Amino acid sequence: MSVLLYLAAGAVSFYVIVYYGVFKGAGCSSSVKLKGKTAIVTGGNTGIGKATALDLAKRGARVILACRNREKAEAAAFDIRRESANSQVVFMQLDLMSLKSVRSFAETLLKTEPRLDILINNAGVMGPGRTEDGFGIAFGVNHLGHFLLTNLLLERLQQCGPSRVVTVAARLHCFGNIDFPLLASKKDSVSDSVSPSAWQNFRAYCSSKLCNVLFTRELANRLEGTNVTCYCLHPGVIYTELFRSMSRWQQILMMPFAKLFFMDPEGGSQTTLYCALQEGIEPLSGRYFSNCALQQVGAKGRDDALAKKLWEVSERLTSLS
């Protein structure tokens, strides 16, 4: 019996050490209030996006949930209004799979919202398929949709400065790659396939996260000297609806491990909130954060020439140039 107790105690100790030492992230300690400020959270109807929106609402911000699914977003807005006691939480239609929808969203917002202080590019997908414009879904949604959205809203952000753009990337950007010839011919960062494998979907996701990092780096260069700063981040290892693209058996295998070790959405929102709210990090515009602290990015993520080329290609793909 004593041996079993020792084993149980050892297992619990191992779990605590691994969870708190590896998986559980730091918390955002900022006490900043946001009354009179307006924030947009893409994908704010679920997961870390919803947790981020709730925190911003509790601080008094007007929060716009920019989402594709009206029913889910309106339900999320209702939940956040009730929990935060803030009536200024609203849904606006945005489908990042459609550049036309991105333009429509931006046009409507600029006509109806006098302020924009925080833009949080949170929405992300991983899986097969293509956007309305024919791009691979990960590249099209995670990078290109947010690239266009940010550019269309930059002038309003500058008018309301100091303001911030926060883009949720991932540590997986280190495994990403940008094949420009392939992108030009296939509108995707991985080779085309009638039935893409899980590995191809994973590679495309990693590459889209590299795009997030490079986009933030070049955006900071272009915003130098203005009152708008930008940051990207790794939110932590979180079990969210991003995993809905997995097959059923993969989800079943993943779930026990996820329940034990992965952070919940509130924990996953902390570095996003840090980048959006923390005072004094303005000189670090363009940099990458994790666990509410500055972190080094992979070598490709520090390549200014690559960042500039991606920007120019993205301008052409979104008809901004």
pLDDT tens, residue by residue, 269-290: 999 999 999 999 999 999 999 9
CATH architecture of 27-315: 3-Layer(aba) Sandwich (3.40)
Mean pLDDT, the chain, rounded, equals 87
Mean pLDDT of 233-238: 85
Shortest CA distance to 177 belongs to which of 147, 145, 197, 206?
206
pLDDT at 242 over 70: no
Domain ranges of the chain: 27-315
| pLDDT tens-digit readout, 62-79 | 999 999 999 999 999 999
pLDDT at 190 over 90: no
Shortest CA distance to 34 belongs to which of 164, 199, 206?
164
**Contact residues for 143 (Cβ-Cβ < 8 A; gap 6+):** 208, 211, 212, 215, 314
- Can you give the pLDDT at residue 265? 76
- Can you give the pLDDT at residue 147? 98
- Can you give the pLDDT at residue 264? 81
| pLDDT tens-digit readout, 122-152 | 999 998 899 999 999 999 999 999 999 999 9
Residues with catalytic function = 205
